[in-house]
């Protein structure tokens, strides 16, 4: 199944863990995302047991200066997971509202589950970029691939791309990402986007965990064609992702900014267009600056470069000094060749 991206920047609202354990909150989130201008709603498809081990030992404890310090990985994912039986009603509501519905699978079973749902895109989360068997299995389904790069080095990215290519899947989008929650704008390094676009020859995007809309808008100016932001109905819902998720009004503001940026980017321009082309007539040209009689010579006093642009180009100014008029000319007459002997 091929997926056709829209002509505009593809705006993805990430539902993630922002459901507070309620399917109705999920469905209301889909409706709010559509109203805010999203193109797609994305979820995450995993179980706590499928993504980690239910283990209390040190490696499974979170104590690294994150929002989730003090929890175990299993406890975090148990709270954050979106029940698989919710996927179908979320997808149905998204489709009813004209949104694309897709997900991040975190194990092979999740890939098969989403494949049966006929989702058009698989997203590989940043922390799964080293899971080559997962990437290969997802890519083998022939659906569009989005790969986030937050914790990846260049070798990781090259290996993930190669895994897709081995499965004959070349529809790959890379997301520049900073895996910090929330992330600082100063860590975004958006200049990477056009470099990677050239290096890998792939569509680029941004998975943005900052709380500032300016970061995503700047990414669009640098070539990002996909923007993903975590989305929440109200941060009062709480949950693991609440602090770096956008509310509907904030997301709508982001969409507006992105659309304005797209208009401003436009295309390569080699001359004025639109109103600027009309206004070109108000540029400088050569005019008679005082009343003159036939036979008088042009001097710096009676020939001037002024607005508007109805006379000869100012480039001719010096060559015209000393030339004589073949007829009378009043002050304010645009100088044209036919006035000259």
Distance CA 88, CA 71 (A): 30
Give per-residue pLDDT as tens, 95-104.
Answer: 999 999 999 9
From 265, 190, 290, select the one nearest 8 (Cα to Cα). 265
**pLDDT above 60: residue 320:** yes
Give per-residue pLDDT as tens, 252-293.
Answer: 999 999 999 999 998 888 777 788 778 888 999 999 999 999
**pLDDT above 80: residue 66:** no
**pLDDT above 70: residue 245:** yes
Contacts (Cβ under 8 Å, ≥6 apart) of 290:
301, 302, 331
CATH number for the domain formed by residue range(s) 10-46+81-265: 3.20.20.70
DSSP letter (8 states) at residue 231: B
Distance CA 261, CA 279 (A): 24
Angle, helices 248-265 vs 23-35, to 10°: value is: 30
Please compute Rg for the chain using Cα positions.
30
Topology at the third CATH level for domain 274-339: Type Iii Antifreeze Protein Isoform Hplc 12 (3.90.1210)
Question: Quick one: what percent of the chain has pLDDT higher than 90?
Answer: 81
Top pLDDT among 249 and 281 is at: 249
Give per-residue pLDDT as tens, 193-228.
Answer: 999 999 999 999 999 999 999 999 999 999 999 999
Top pLDDT among 16 and 101 is at: 101
Where are the domains positioned within the chain? 10-46+81-265, 274-339
Coil, helix or strand for 273?
coil
Q: What pLDDT, on the 0 to 100 scale, is given for residue 138? A: 98
Angle, helices 108-116 vs 84-96, to 10°: value is: 40
115-131 as b/e, with b when 16 or more CB fall inside 10 Å?
beeebebbbbbbebbeb
One fold for 10-46+81-265 and 274-339? no
Please tell me the pTM assigned to this model.
Answer: 0.86
Name the band, by pLDDT with cuts 50, 70 and 90, for residue 1.
Answer: low
Average pLDDT, integer, range 73-88 = 89
From 173, 142, 144, select the one nearest 157 (Cα to Cα). 173
Distance CA 189, CA 207 (A): 12
From 79, 127, 123, 128, select the one nearest 101 (Cα to Cα). 123
Q: What pLDDT, on the 0 to 100 scale, is given for residue 239? A: 83
Coil, helix or strand for 275?
helix
């Amino acid at each position: 199944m091929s997926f056709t991206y829209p002509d505009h920047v593809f705006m993805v609202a990430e539902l993630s863990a922002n459901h507070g354990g309620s399917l109705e909150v999920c469905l209301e989130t889909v409706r709010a995302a559509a109203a805010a201008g999203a193109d797609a709603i994305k979820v995450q498809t995993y179980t706590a047991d499928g993504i980690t081990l239910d283990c209390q030992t040190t490696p499974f404890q979170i104590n690294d200066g994150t929002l989730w310090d003090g929890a175990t990985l299993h406890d975090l994912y148990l709270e954050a997971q979106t029940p698989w039986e919710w996927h179908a009603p979320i997808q149905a509501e998204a489709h009813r509202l004209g949104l694309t519905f897709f997900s991040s699978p975190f194990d092979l079973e999740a890939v098969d589950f989403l494949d049966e749902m006929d989702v058009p895109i698989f997203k590989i989360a940043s922390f799964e970029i080293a899971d080559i068997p997962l990437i290969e299995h997802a890519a083998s389904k022939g659906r569009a691939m989005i790969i986030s790069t937050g914790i990846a080095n260049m070798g990781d990215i090259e290996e993930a791309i190669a895994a897709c290519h081995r499965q004959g899947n070349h529809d790959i989008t890379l997301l520049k990402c900073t895996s910090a929650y929330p992330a600082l704008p100063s860590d975004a390094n958006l200049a990477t986007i056009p470099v990677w676009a050239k290096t890998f020859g792939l569509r680029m995007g941004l998975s943005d965990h900052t709380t500032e809309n300016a970061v995503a808008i700047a990414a669009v100016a640098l070539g990002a064609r996909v923007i993903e932001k975590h989305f929440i109905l109200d941060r009062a819902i709480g949950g693991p992702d609440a602090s770096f998720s956008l509310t509907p009004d904030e997301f709508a503001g982001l969409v507006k900014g992105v659309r304005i940026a797209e208009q401003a980017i436009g295309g390569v321009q080699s001359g004025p267009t639109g109103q600027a082309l009309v206004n070109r007539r108000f540029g400088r040209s050569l005019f008679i600056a005082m009343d003159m009689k036939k036979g008088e010579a042009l001097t710096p006093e009676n020939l001037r470069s002024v607005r508007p642009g109805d006379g000869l180009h100012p480039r001719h100014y010096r060559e015209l000094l000393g030339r004589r008029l073949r007829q009378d000319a009043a002050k304010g007459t645009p100088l044209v060749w036919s006035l000259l002997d």
